[in-house]
Amino acid sequence: MNNPAITKIDFKALKYIADGGAILGSGGGGDPYVGRLMAQQAWGSNNTVAVIDIDELPDDALILPIAMMGAPTVMLEKFSSGEEIPKLISMMERFLGKKVAAILCIEAGGLNSTIPFIAAAQMQLPIVDGDAMGRAFPELQMVTFTLGGIQATPMAMMDEKGNGATFDTISNSWAEKLARALTIEMGGAAMVSLYPVTAAQCRNYLIRGSLTKAHRIGQIMAEHGANACAALVEEFDGTHLFQGRVRDVNRVSEGGFARGTVKLEGLGDFINREITLSFQNEFLIAREGDNVLATTPDLITLLDIFSGDAVTTELVKYGLPVNVLGLPCDPIWQSPQALEIVGPRYFKLDYDYKPI
Amino acid sequence: MNNPAITKIDFKALKYIADGGAILGSGGGGDPYVGRLMAQQAWGSNNTVAVIDIDELPDDALILPIAMMGAPTVMLEKFSSGEEIPKLISMMERFLGKKVAAILCIEAGGLNSTIPFIAAAQMQLPIVDGDAMGRAFPELQMVTFTLGGIQATPMAMMDEKGNGATFDTISNSWAEKLARALTIEMGGAAMVSLYPVTAAQCRNYLIRGSLTKAHRIGQIMAEHGANACAALVEEFDGTHLFQGRVRDVNRVSEGGFARGTVKLEGLGDFINREITLSFQNEFLIAREGDNVLATTPDLITLLDIFSGDAVTTELVKYGLPVNVLGLPCDPIWQSPQALEIVGPRYFKLDYDYKPI
C-alpha cells in the first residue's frame, strides 16, 4: 500500500473509514450507517481527531481499544447512550492506575472502525493508525495480541442503561466466554474496552495502517460506486469470487452471535453457478459445493451490485444482487498457530485454509 | 430469644452454626456438610473467630458480606480453591479505597453461614452477629438492604479457576441478572462479595443475632437429635407443618437455579394426607391441595426424621421420611413493600402470604 498515512480525520473522512471499515469487516463489525449516526450524535460537526503512528508514542504510553461487542443484528437497533465510553475509560484508568494516551481500534468494521473515533473525539485523545485483526472476527480472543500472549483483561463493559462490569480472567478465551454471557444479558450488545496495551507491547502485534487502508477503501468506493469491487480487486490484490443474487438466507441469533448461511445464484459471468456462504457475525467460508473459494482468515465481503456498498451479514436479504469480494488477510494470520484460533476448523468447518 | 450472644467461634461451634444455618436456610443456602468440609480445608483447627455486635463498630467501618452464589446442586460438587476469598476482598478494598473492618453473613444456610467464617478466619477479621435475610432466599436483591435502598454493587465475583469480575449496576435486580448469568458461565456457582456497607448503613437493616440463633439451633439439634423438630417448634414459635415420606421429586437446573417440587405422603398423625412443596433453591410454599400451610417469606424446612438434620432441596430424595418445620420470618419481611420482593407472587405462585 503506497497511500500516504492519514493524520487527521473530520466527519467526512470518517464516512470513508466507516464505509471502508465495513468492507474490511468481512460481513461483520457493524453497519457503517449506524456507525455514522452514532458518530453524528456523539460528535457534532466541529471535531477532528488526530491519527498517529504507533512509533510516535513512548514505550510506556497506555493505549486503550474501544469497541461494541455483540450480535450485529442487535447492534443495528441498540444505540449507545453516549455515556458508555467516558465511563469505560474512567473505569479502566482507575483499574490500571494510569492515564490513557491514545485510543485503538480493535477490529475493522462499519461500526467498530467508527466507535474508536467517537471515543477519541469525546476524550480529546489521538487514535493509533492500526487495529488488532486487520478485519473483523466474531470472538474477542481472535486478535493479534493473543498471538503475542497479551491479556484481554482487565476489561470493562457498559450497557446503555448504565450497568457496568469489569473482568479479570485466566485466559482470553475465558474473557470471551464471560463477556459474551454478559453481553447477552445486557440485551445482545454492549460497549467494551479490553486489551489495554502499552505502546511497546503494541508495536510488535499491531496491524499497522489499517485506518489509512479503510479510509482509502472508502475513497475508492466514493469514486467508483457500482464498480468499486473491480477497483478494490486491483488495488488490494483481491479476487472477484462471485456475482449473484441472494436466494436463501438462514439466520439465527444464538449464544450472543448471529449465525447462518447465505445462498447465491450466479449472475453475469457466474450464471448457472451457485455458492453458499456461512457466517458467525462475519463470513467464514464461501463454497461452491465442496470447492472452497475462500475461507477465514481471508476476507469475504459482499458488495451491493448497484451502490458498491458493503452488505453486512445482518442486512443480507432475499433477492439482493451482490458481488463477492475476496481479500487476503494480514500475513500474521497464516501461521499454524494463528490458524488454530481463527482458521476454518476453529469454527467447526471441515476444510483447510487455502489462501486466495 | 434469650440466649446469650456468642462472641467467639471455634471449629466445634462452627458445626452448630452450619447445622443451625441449614435449618434457617429453608431448604437452601447450601449443605452444612459441604460448609464444614470447606471450613476444615481452609481453616485448620487452631483458628477462632470473634463475633461482634454491630454496635461495637464505628459508623464508618466497612463491613463486607461474603457468600457463595449459584444453584445448591452445583455448590455441592464445586469446591472453593481457597484463594477466592482473599482475592475478592482485595478487589473490593481496591474498588472502595478502604480497608474492611468486619465480615458479614448475607444469608443463613449450611454453606452460606459457614463461608463468612472462613473469610473472617483467613483475613483475621471479626464477624458481625446478624445477616441480611434471616433465612436464605434465591435471588441476591432479596435482602433487607434492598428495603433500605442500599446498593448491591460494587460487587465482586470469583470462580475457583481464577476468573474474576466486578459489577456496578443501576439496581439490585440488575446485579442479580448480570451476576446470575456469569455464575452460570463460571460453572453454576461462584464466590461473591456484595452489598459493601458501613456500620451506620447496616444498623437499621441488619437482622441482628442470627449467628447466635443459628448456633443455638445447632445446639438444640445436637441435644435432641431425632426430636429436634419438636424442640425447635417450642423454642422458636414454630409449627410442625407435616410429617411424611418423599413420594416424588421433580428437579431441574434452569437459569442458574435449582427449581422443582417435592410431594410428601403423610406418616404418623398425618397419615392419608399429602402435601406439595415448591422450591427455587429454597422452599417457597407448602400446600395441601389448595390449602396453603406456609409460604415464603416464612421458613419451610425439612428435617430427616431419624437424624433431625436439615434436608436441603438438592438432597431431598425418594423415600426419605421427613418432618416439615415452619418458622416465622423476621417481621421486616411482612410489610407490603417487602412482600413485593420476597412474597409468593414474586415467584409466580398465585397465593397470598399468610403468616404461620
Q: What is the pLDDT of residue B24?
A: 97
Within 8 A of A90 by CB-CB distance, chain B residues are none
C-alpha distance from residue B283 to each of B74, B247, B274 (Å): 17, 17, 16
Within 8 A of A169 by CB-CB distance, chain B residues are 162-164
Task: Find the residue in A nearest to B174 (Cα).
Answer: A163
Taking the CA of residue B89 and the nearest CA in chain A, the distance in Å comes to 15
**Residue listed under C-alpha cell 447512550:** A81
Q: Regarding predicted confidence, which is higher, B61 or A35?
A: B61
The list of chain B residues with pLDDT below 50 reads 1
Phi, psi of B136 (to 5 degrees): -115, 145
Within 8 A of A162 by CB-CB distance, chain B residues are 169-170
Render pLDDT for A260-269 as a digit per residue (tens, 0 to 9): 999 999 999 9
The domain ranges of chain B are 8-211, 226-347
Interchain proximity B178–A178, CB inside 8 Å: no
Share of chain A above pLDDT 70, in %: 99
Interchain proximity B182–A181, CB inside 8 Å: yes
DSSP A29: S
Q: What is the pLDDT of residue B2?
A: 59
Residue A259, pLDDT > 60, answer yes
Neighbours of A269 (CB within 10 A): 9
Render pLDDT for B2-26 as a digit per residue (tens, 0 to 9): 578 899 999 889 999 999 999 999 9
Candidates A163, A168, A174; nearest CB to B170: A163
Q: What is the mean pLDDT of chain B?
A: 94
Phi, psi of B8 (to 5 degrees): -150, 135
Record: fold of B226-347:
CV3147-like (2.40.390)
Q: What is the pLDDT of residue A2?
A: 60
ipTM of the complex: 0.88
Render pLDDT for B193-217 as a digit per residue (tens, 0 to 9): 999 999 999 999 999 999 999 999 9
Measured CA to CA, the distance from residue A187 to residue A193 in angstroms comes to 18
Q: What is the mean pLDDT of chain A?
A: 94
Interchain proximity B164–A168, CB inside 8 Å: yes
Phi, psi of A157 (to 5 degrees): -140, 140
Share of chain A above pLDDT 90, in %: 86
Interchain proximity B163–A161, CB inside 8 Å: no
Beta partners for A190? A69
Measured CA to CA, the distance from residue A113 to residue A24 in angstroms comes to 10
Q: What is the pLDDT of residue B291?
A: 96
Q: What is the pLDDT of residue B76?
A: 76
Taking the CA of residue A101 and the nearest CA in chain B, the distance in Å comes to 23
Superfamily per CATH, domain A8-211:
CV3147-like domain (3.40.1610.10)
- Average pLDDT estimate for A11-39: 92
**Beta carbon pairs, A and B, within 8 Å:** 53
Element (H, E) at B31: none
Residue A95's SS3 state is helix
Q: Is the dihedral of CA B188, B193, B194, B195 positive or negative?
A: positive
C-alpha cell recorded at residue B255: 437459569
Render pLDDT for A293-351 as a digit per residue (tens, 0 to 9): 999 999 999 999 999 999 999 999 999 999 999 999 999 999 999 999 999 999 999 99
Within 8 A of A81 by CB-CB distance, chain B residues are none
For the entire predicted model, the pTM comes to 0.91
Q: What is the pLDDT of residue A336?
A: 97
Taking the CA of residue A159 and the nearest CA in chain B, the distance in Å comes to 10
C-alpha distance from residue A288 to each of A241, A275, A313, B246 (Å): 10, 4, 19, 60
Render pLDDT for A61-100 as a digit per residue (tens, 0 to 9): 999 999 999 887 777 777 788 889 999 999 999 889 999 9
Residues 6+ apart with CB under 8 A from B201: B145, B148, B150
Residue A1, pLDDT > 70, answer no
Residue type, B342: V
